[in-house]
Amino acid sequence: MIALARSVRNFFSLVRFSHTVFAMPFALIGFSIAVSGTDSDLSIRMLVLVILCMIFARNAAMGFNRIADKDYDALNPRTRKREIPSGIISARAAAAFVIINAVLFIVTTGFINRLTLFLSPVALMVILGYSLTKRFTSLCHFVLGLGLSLAPIGAYISVTGKFSILPLIYSFIVLTWVSGFDIIYALQDDEFDKSNQLHSLPSATGRKRALTISILVHLITFILVLLAGFYGKSGLFFWLGATLFTLLLVYQHSIVRDDDLSKVSMAFATTNGIASIIFAVFVILDMIVRYQ
């Protein structure tokens, strides 16, 4: 039992399971929009299926990312202690983990509806393909954002079997929000990326310009949040959540400078994780109050 628990803990660490807080809250927003804004009934079974899809898809994506980057991770002082380069988990075991989670993701979508099943390979292509984009484009941050942006619209489709504008707006919020903070995260490896022919905005433009681009991308996020609020005819709780979310966006930019990266981890993981949870809680609460 101790060995099993250690193995599970190692795989959770491999895929940074705690980072599920970035996209999961937005999936719950998409689910809540479907339940509260349409004739769809609240189904615990459907909620569980949506959550499982999120977990399986992210496990597959992060596991594949670790396999694809294992040689680079072994060379990078910041990442050489990760599970695969350090030998804690073998590449073969990680590959099996990815395949199992990818299959479970597709099977789970089949229990939802035909549209989610049909779209599941496309979703996998996007979220797995991100891991290869640093080889050829500095816009890789936006591919990561695109992958996570599938959460709200995917959850909405799971419940309703169709597309809609409001969850799409939330998907664009996720796309720009994630892309913006991934640019901040990539500041740590700008020199390593340059020397190893990897692409990122910090390595292509320099830290100062990359931070400016991140601010501009998050400005778009702010505009999209406003759009979601007005289009969704949101109430007080939404606007409280939107205000806190925006303040946390501003905060993360205030603590990271091009000549001081000591607080990148706080900006990337802690601040954005809190922002996502707070925003989702207030948005969902707003829908409960308005549609009860």
- pLDDT tens sequence across 217-272: 999 999 999 999 999 999 999 999 999 999 999 999 999 999 999 999 888 788 99
* Rounded distance between C-alpha atoms, residue 10 and residue 20, angstroms: 16
Shortest CA distance to 170 belongs to which of 90, 86, 242?
A: 242
Identify the pLDDT of residue 119: 93
Identify the pLDDT of residue 42: 78
Q: State which residues of the chain have pLDDT below 70.
A: 1-6, 15, 17-19, 38-40, 292
3-state secondary structure (DSSP) of residue 44:
helix
List, in order, residues 6 or more apart from 156 with CB less than 8 Å away. 30, 31, 33, 34, 163, 164, 167
In degrees, to the nearest 5, what angle opens at C-alpha 284 toward C-alphas 276 and 22?
A: 20
Neighbours of 127 (CB within 10 A): 24
Rounded to whole angstroms, what are the CA distances from 266 to 150, 269, 273?
A: 25, 6, 10
Fold entry, domain 19-291 = Tetracycline Repressor; domain 2 (1.10.357)
